[in-house]
């Protein structure tokens, strides 16, 4: 081995050993949870894919760090929310349960994680467990005198009752939530609750007022960057526009929602957006285009294993019946009937589905099946038995609608008073301006007149001077003539 190689190796070893402590030090730098958490939360509502990268980094670094349980609980909570956003409910539940466990020392954070866990359970149709968790969250917020937490919890309890078709209880909870949020002037959260209340108005066919509430909710959600709720509300908004035959606006809403929800990888929401587009063309009697979108809607919702499969399936069968495609309708009925847990379907959707199915079986000459489905429709209709409650719901809605209208009238009155004051102030400015202009004009006239008078006086003075000069010349000339005469006299 030559001396050059020996020196080269020794130099290389020296450099490596010299920089090794620096490399080790850089690797041992503590992970910045706070900065990474900010980046994750920035994306979680609008771009879940980007948020996941940062959440994965934090979860990976928790075991090897000295991070406090409260901070770890927040990370688990937010990661659970991320999975909830993309409809991965099993994963969401795992991380939210960890968040609840880790946040024992912080009641407020614990209540928030319990609330989020209850929402996941509701989306899994486990309403009983969800309500128990919500009751626990409500007690914690109440003990902390956290009015915002109480209001949000009432809103979530109302959502549970709405899913359970107990509309009277749902409306009561929504109104309690709105009342507290109005006192707190929390417009962002009030927008979410108004969206939920609008759904009740939609169900009771008060479409005009539902539309107004949806528009208010959409504005609040967009401003807050809560895009998942924004797109979901946009779908409900489109459903309402269809009922009011505003098909062009409805189509625009559904298309925006269909494109937007792709970010959240939610087959259920994508399916609901396409289902709305299918309904537009159904009502416009364009059945071929309606079929294209309805088939897509059914496939997406079926893949998501959503309880909304029954409503989409019922509308799919109804459309195929209209097109006399009874064999295809039969396949849809069988596909819906193969859904693993029929108890998830609500009664109203079951009634609509059985009615559409009865028509299919009748046209396929399956008379026994048709009669069986019609009997089921009658049974379901009787079991709903909500007529008395609907009267109470309508009365509560009217009360809320009246109170809201009074608020709007008061706001309009204040706006008109401000406008009148503005007009009066503007008129005062105009009057003052007119006076100033008049004074300026008067001054200009006076100054101009003075200039003119001064000019005339100067001209008169000059004329007098010229006249005096002429008179002096004439007098001198006369004197000269007189002197000439006297000279001539003396000469004689």
Tell me the per-residue pLDDT of 130-168, one tens digit each, with 9 for 90 and over: 999 999 999 999 999 999 999 999 999 998 988 887 888
pLDDT at 400 over 60: no
Distance CA 131, CA 140 (A): 14
The residue that leads in pLDDT, 77 or 401, is 77
Distance CA 24, CA 451 (A): 94
Q: Which of 8-17, 105-114, 220-229, 240-249 has the lowest mean pLDDT?
A: 8-17
What is the pLDDT averaged over residues 302-318?
90
pTM of the model: 0.60
- What is the Cα Rg of the chain in Å? 42
Q: Which of 190, 280, 197 minimizes the C-alpha distance to 239?
A: 280
Q: Which of 122, 129, 30, 36 minimizes the C-alpha distance to 74?
A: 36
The residue that leads in pLDDT, 407 or 23, is 407
CATH tag, 34-185: 1.25.40.10
Assign 5 a pLDDT band (cuts: 50, 70, 90). very low
pLDDT at 37 over 60: yes
Reported CATH class of domain 190-265? mainly alpha
What is the pLDDT averaged over residues 461-465?
68
Any long-range contacts for 328-334 (C-beta under 8 Å, 24+ apart)? 329/356, 329/360, 330/360, 330/364, 332/298, 333/357, 333/360
3-state secondary structure of 386: coil
User: Which helix (H) or strand (E) element contains residue 113?
Assistant: helix 107-123
pLDDT at residue number 23: 40
State the residue for tokens 């587009």: 277
The residue count of the chain comes to: 492
Assign 272 a pLDDT band (cuts: 50, 70, 90). very high
């Amino acid at each position: 081995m030559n001396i050059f190689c020996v020196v080269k190796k020794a130099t290389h070893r020296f450099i490596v050993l010299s920089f090794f402590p620096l490399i080790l030090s850089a690797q041992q730098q503590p992970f910045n949870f706070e900065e990474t958490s900010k980046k994750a939360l920035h994306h979680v509502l609008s771009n879940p894919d980007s948020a996941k990268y940062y959440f994965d980094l934090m979860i990976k670094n928790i075991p090897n760090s000295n991070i406090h349980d409260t901070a770890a609980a927040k990370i688990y909570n937010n990661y659970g929310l991320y999975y909830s956003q993309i409809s991965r409910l099993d994963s969401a539940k795992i991380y939210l349960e960890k968040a609840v466990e880790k946040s024992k020392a912080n009641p407020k954070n614990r209540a928030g994680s319990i609330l989020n866990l209850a929402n996941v359970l509701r989306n899994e149709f486990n309403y009983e467990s969800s309500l128990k968790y919500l009751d626990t969250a409500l007690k914690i917020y109440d003990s902390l005198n956290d009015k915002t937490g109480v209001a949000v919890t009432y809103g979530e309890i109302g959502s549970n009752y709405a899913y359970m078709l107990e509309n009277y209880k749902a409306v009561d909870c929504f109104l309690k939530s709105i009342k507290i949020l109005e006192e707190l002037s929390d417009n962002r959260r009030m927008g979410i609750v108004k969206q939920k209340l609008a759904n009740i108005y939609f169900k009771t066919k008060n479409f005009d007022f539902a539309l107004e509430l949806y528009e208010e909710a959409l504005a609040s959600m967009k401003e807050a960057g809560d895009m998942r709720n924004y797109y979901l509300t946009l779908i409900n908004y489109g459903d309402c526009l269809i009922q009011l035959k505003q098909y062009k606006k409805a189509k625009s809403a559904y298309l925006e929602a269909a494109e937007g929800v792709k970010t959240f990888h939610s087959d259920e929401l994508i399916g609901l957006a396409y289902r709305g587009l299918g309904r537009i063309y159904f009502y416009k009697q364009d059945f071929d285009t309606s079929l294209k979108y309805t088939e897509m809607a059914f496939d997406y919702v079926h893949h998501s294993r959503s309880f909304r499969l029954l409503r989409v399936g019922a509308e799919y069968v109804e459309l195929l019946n209209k097109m006399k495609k009874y064999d295809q309708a039969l396949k849809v009925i069988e596909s819906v009937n193969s859904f693993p847990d029929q108890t998830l379907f609500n009664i109203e959707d079951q009634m609509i589905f059985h009615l559409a199915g009865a028509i299919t079986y009748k046209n396929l000459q399956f008379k026994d099946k048709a009669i069986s489905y019609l009997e089921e429709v009658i049974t379901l209709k009787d079991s709903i038995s909500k007529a008395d409650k609907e009267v109470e719901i309508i009365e509560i809605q009217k009360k809320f609608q009246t109170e809201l209208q009074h608020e709007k009238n008061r706001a309009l009155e204040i706006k008109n008073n401000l406008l009148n004051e503005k007009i009066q102030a503007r008129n005062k400015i105009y009057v003052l301006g007119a006076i100033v202009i008049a004074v300026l004009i008067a001054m200009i006239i006076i100054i101009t007149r003075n200039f003119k008078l001064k000019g005339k006086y100067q001209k008169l003075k000059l004329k007098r001077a010229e006249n005096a000069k002429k008179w002096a010349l004439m007098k001198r000339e006369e004197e000269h003539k007189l002197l000439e005469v006297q000279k001539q006299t003396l000469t004689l």
